[in-house]
Amino acid sequence: MIARLLYSLLFYLAMPMVWLRLLWRARQQPEYLQHLGERHGFYSPLRARPLIWLHAVSVGETRAAEPLVDALLHAYPEHGLLLTHMTPTGRASAQAVLAKFPERCTQVYLPYDLPDACGRFLDHFRPQVGLLMETELWPNLIHAAKRRQLPLLLINARLSARSQRGYARLASLIRPAVASLSAVAAQTEGDAERLRQLGAQRTSVSGNLKFDVTPAVDQLQLGARWRQAVGPRPVWLLASSRAGEEVLILEAISALGIAGLLLVLVPRHPQRFAEVAGLVAGRGLALCRRSSGSLPSGETQVWLGDSMGEMAAYYALADLALIGGTLLPFGGQNLIEAAACACPVLLGPHSFNFSQASDDAIACGAARRVANAGEAAAVAGELLRSRAQLLAMRAAATGFSQGHRGATARTLALIERVMEPRKAH
């Protein structure tokens, strides 16, 4: 209790900095200044309907949750879905899900982890069960749910060794929170064991929900149209790149020597689109932007994917992708979507956010590991010159994607076991 009180006090004291950060981010994404009351637990009235609450902090978690959302709303037709986020991009990425069930879905921001805000949130919506995606361990939120006897599950849970070490330094704060969870559905046995060491009491391994996400047909068709327009020239994609990685690749491709190569850059964060365009222009490379509405011409050297919600189309276009966040120590982005689109991938040395999936993809031949940007360019050159190697990796990617499905059904079964007593009551 003392640790949580100190944490809450520090959080309250830090709120001026939190608001300054919102203002700073709003310079490039004005949406950060919308729905401000929700961030402190103030919400509009809603229809009287029992709710299942799912928290998906941003884009990746929201997309991963799509099959589970469908399954939940079909399994519990009398319930509505409360979908919460922390970022505007996460909120925007849920529109496809909400469009399927407009009368049954409510979308808001989760409040900051302050005792009064969390209490207002739970008292306003009164969900029947709470589902937290991946690594959302908020001490005050979990404590408020426990006080209200609300079952709270951590699903699609992942915890890298690096994150575990960080949480372990705050054991007096984190351990009671983790121990209060009604159940934990981990992606891998390694994730489950690390969560047990943090105090999780009821853990199981359900797999990764992201394997159950099927690329939208319209996005695959869009990518195919792009491919037809680009023609036979080789296409290398830097997917979901992070700050500092575009520079490394732009420098590395100068020595690649592949005639007609088209480099596609898709930054992870939309507020960096203009910055990346400036990096390309500063090197004198012929640039085309997706937002311009025009497709790359024969003279285009770099196509900037400055759009949202089209990653599957970029994977369908590309011959080969380098997964962003792996060249520099960000931990890597999701390679599973690339595999679902049958796109071979390269991984840098830093893939600790998806360590098991990365190791499995490499083991089956769907991915290759590179040490740095220079080696990434060298291996990309080798593969782009060898159609046979690319076709073999493409087939391996398809097998890898299809062989790891089933997490949605296992997660739904766990939720049903937790919900059954409340449903009977």
88-123 confidence digits (pLDDT tens): 888 888 887 778 888 889 999 999 999 999 999 999
pLDDT at 97: 75
Q: In whole angstroms, how far apart are CA 277 and each of 239, 268, 329?
A: 15, 14, 23
Of the two residues 422 and 173, the one the predictor is more confident about is: 173
Q: Is the pLDDT of residue 425 over 60?
A: no
User: What pTM, to 2 d.p., does this model score?
Assistant: 0.84
pLDDT at 93: 83
What is the spatial distance between Cα 367 and Cα 359, in angstroms, rounded to a whole number? 9
Q: Is the pLDDT of residue 424 over 60?
A: no
Across all residues in the chain, what is the average pLDDT? Answer: 93
* pLDDT tens column, 192-203: 999 999 999 999
What is the spatial distance between Cα 279 and Cα 164, in angstroms, rounded to a whole number? 36
Question: How many Cα neighbours within 13 Å face the side chain of 399?
Answer: 14
CA 277 centroid distance within chain: 24
State the DSSP string of 262-295.
EEEEEESSGGGHHHHHHHHHHTT--EEEGGGTPP
Structure tokens at 207: 């797999």
Mean pLDDT, rounded, for 213-221: 93
pLDDT band at 45 (very low <50, low <70, confident <90, very high): confident
Mean pLDDT, rounded, for 9-29: 91
Mean pLDDT, rounded, for 6-26: 93
Of the two residues 99 and 167, the one the predictor is more confident about is: 167
Q: Is 130 strand, coil or helix?
A: strand
Based on the residue annotation, tell me whether 61 is a catalytic residue of this protein.
Answer: yes
pLDDT band at 73 (very low <50, low <70, confident <90, very high): very high
In the DSSP assignment, the letter for residue 296 is P
- The residues pairing with 131 across neighbouring beta strands, listed in sequence order, are 54, 153
pLDDT at 28: 81
Helical H runs in 347-406? 355-364, 373-384, 387-403
pLDDT band at 20 (very low <50, low <70, confident <90, very high): very high
* pLDDT tens column, 274-306: 999 999 999 999 999 999 998 999 999 999 999
pLDDT band at 53 (very low <50, low <70, confident <90, very high): very high
Q: In whole angstroms, how far apart are CA 156 and each of 36, 145, 201, 287, 332?
A: 28, 19, 16, 39, 17
Q: Is 236 strand, coil or helix?
A: strand
pLDDT at 29: 84
Which of 38, 61, 246, 310 is the catalytic position?
61
CA 295 centroid distance within chain: 27
Mean pLDDT, rounded, for 54-78: 91
Structure tokens at 143: 């404590």
Proportion of the chain above pLDDT 70, given as a percent: 99
pLDDT at 122: 97
Lowest mean pLDDT among 83-97, 121-135, 161-175, 397-411: 83-97
pLDDT at 422: 61
Mean pLDDT, rounded, for 211-231: 94
Q: What is the side-by-side strand order in the sheet with 183-186?
A: 105-109, 80-85, 51-55, 129-133, 152-157, 183-186, 203-205
Residues 196, 199, 202, 205, CA torsion sign: negative
pLDDT band at 423 (very low <50, low <70, confident <90, very high): low
CA 31 centroid distance within chain: 19
pLDDT at 99: 80
pLDDT at 356: 87
Mean pLDDT, rounded, for 27-56: 90
Task: Give me the domains of the chain, ranges plus CATH numbers.
Answer: 28-208+406-420 (3.40.50.11720), 217-403 (3.40.50.2000)
Percentage helix, strand, coil, to 5, in the chain?
55, 15, 30
* pLDDT tens column, 338-369: 999 999 999 999 998 888 899 999 999 999 99
| Ramachandran angles phi, psi of 48, nearest 5° | -80, 105
Other beta carbons within 10 angstroms of residue 386's beta carbon come to 12
| 165: amino acid identity, one letter | R
